[in-house]
Structure 1
Amino acid sequence: MFYDAGENAHGLSHDPFKAIVSPRPIGWIGSRAADGSLNLAPYSFFNAVSDAPKLVMFSSSGRKDSVSNIEETGEFTANFVSYDLREAMNTTSAPAPRGKSEFELAGLTAVTGHMVAAPFVAEAYAALECKVTEMFQPKALDGTLSNSYMVIGQVVGIHIREEAIRDGRFDMAKVRPVGRMGYMDYCESGDVFEMFRPKR
Structure 2
Amino acid sequence: MRTELDPDQLDRTAVYRLLTSTVVPRPIAWVSTVSADGVDNLAPHSFFTISSVTPPIVQFTSVGRKDSLRNVETTGQFVINFAPEPLFEEINKTATDIPQQVSEFDAVGVRREASARVTAPRVANSPVALECELHSTLPLGDCTVVFGRVVRFAIDDTVLDRDHPEVTRLRPLTRLGKDEWGTLGDVRELRRIRYADWSASS
Q: Is TM-score (shorter-chain normalized) higher than 0.5?
A: yes
1:97-154 Cα shifts (integer Å, max 9, x gaps): 112111112211222211111111010010100001111311xxxxxxx111211101
- Aligned residue number for residue 48 of structure 1: 50
> For residues 173 and 92 of structure 2, what CA distance do their matches in structure 1 show?
11
CA distance in 1, matches of 2:75, 2:10: 37
Q: Which residue of 2 aligns with 1:31?
A: 33
CA contact (8 A) 1:78 1:128 kept: yes
Code of the aligned partner of 2:172: P
Matched-pair contact (CA < 8 Å) for 1:172–1:190: no
Task: Report the identity percentage.
Answer: 35
Divergent runs of 4+, >6 A: none
Structure 1 unaligned spans of 5+: 139-145
Residues 44-193 of structure 1: pairs in structure 2 closer than 5 A: 44-138=46-140, 146-193=141-188
Instruction: Report if the CA contact (8 A) 1:177-1:190 is conserved.
Output: no
Structure 1 or 2, whichever has the larger Rg, is 2
Structure 2 distance, partners of 1:4, 1:147, is 19
Instruction: Please provide the CA RMSD for this pair.
Output: 1.6
Quote how far apart the aligned CAs of 1:190 are: 4.3
TM-score by length of 2: 0.89
| Structure-2 separation of matches of 1:99 and 1:150 | 24
Shift of 1:77: 0.3
Q: CA deviation at 1:15?
A: 3.4
2:52 and 2:128 mapped to 1: Cα distance? 18
**Residue 198, structure 1, aligned to residue 200, structure 2:** no
Aligned residues: 190
